[in-house]
Amino acid sequence: MKHLISLSDWTSEEIVEVLDLADRLKYENKNRIAHNHYLRGKTLGMIFSKSSTRTRVSFEVGIHQLGGYALYLNASDIQLGRGETIHDTARTLSRYLDGIMIRTYKQKDVEDLAAYGDIPVINGLTDELHPCQILADLMTIREKKGKLKGLKLCYVGDGNNVAHSLMIGCAKTGVDISVATPEEYTCMDKYVNIAKQIALETGSRVEILTNPKDAVKDADIVYTDTWVSMGMENEKEKRVKVFAPYQVNRELFSLAKPDAIFMHCLPAYRGYEVTEDVIDGPNSVVFDEAENRLHAQKAVMVKLMADYA
């Protein structure tokens, strides 16, 4: 476990190990027990090509609580991949930092930073994957349901980076997942195939559907995301029309199990992908999920950046 590029690179045991540590760090946080300063003297460089609320705040607060320091690096300031090659950037930053978190567009940029540098690289989000979010999601599901294996998660909406990482994370931990998207916005075959191969090994199930009602039926968790991700604003009018049948409203949510929970990685656009009565309803856990970004990411940083056993 040297980097967090994709959850497909981690074993099921490594994922559970990080979730267990995240639970412990959250317990300490809630009970005002000071964390061991696992990252005392360590510096995390945070490269942002895409703006963020939860990612920046959770990483910055998290490493501070662990005794380290976060350095914000705007991608345009360091000319990532423009004035200087990623190869040279990675080698240079490895001389200054103890780890890099990058939130960017191209998956290959993250992979290249990891390949050419000598320090841990954490994928804070790309157009293809969002592993940090899914670790927080799995933490939240286990917190609310008491287990992972044998549950059914339904994802409804755009076949995007969150859907890709959800498929992989669920398959790795034995959660069945049904993904319902419009045909023209389905998940990338590459990640569907990776998830299905993992599912064969763990005994879970990965379903790719177009009918949201079929996907939601008897689900333990119903999950959605924005229909218009950052950089796609010019497609908003078209997307709103195409995705309208995929809105998670009270009628669709009622097809899940009575004790199903609702999840959303946020930010949410109320009245579009989800109605207010669902996201603000008694089954919604979206703010617990958002909080758990802090604890899950602290666990990732400890595992990757500290000499921790």
Checking if the pLDDT of 282 tops 80, the result is yes
Supply the pTM of this predicted model. Answer: 0.96
Q: pLDDT-derived band of residue 34, with 50, 70 and 90 as boundaries?
A: confident
Checking if the pLDDT of 308 tops 50, the result is no
Q: Is 230 annotated as a binding residue?
A: yes
Checking if the pLDDT of 231 tops 70, the result is no
Per-residue pLDDT at 138: 98
Separation between Cα atoms, residue 129 and residue 125, nearest integer Å: 6
As a whole number of angstroms, the longest Cα–Cα distance in the chain is: 55
Query: Which amino acid is located at 306 in the chain?
Result: A
Ordered by where they begin, the domains of the chain are 1-128+291-304 (3.40.50.1370), 133-287 (3.40.50.1370)
Separation between Cα atoms, residue 211 and residue 120, nearest integer Å: 40
Per-residue pLDDT at 234: 82
CA-based angle 57:60:65, to the nearest 5?
115
Mean residue pLDDT of the chain comes to: 95
Per-residue pLDDT at 51: 83
Average pLDDT over residues 153-170: 98
Per-residue pLDDT at 309: 37
| Active centre residues (catalytic) | 103, 130, 133, 225, 265, 293
Q: Is 197 annotated as a binding residue?
A: no
Q: Is 131 annotated as a binding residue?
A: yes
Checking if the pLDDT of 296 tops 90, the result is yes
Q: pLDDT-derived band of residue 78, with 50, 70 and 90 as boundaries?
A: confident
Separation between Cα atoms, residue 252 and residue 103, nearest integer Å: 33
Q: Is 8 annotated as a binding residue?
A: no
Q: Is 1 annotated as a binding residue?
A: no
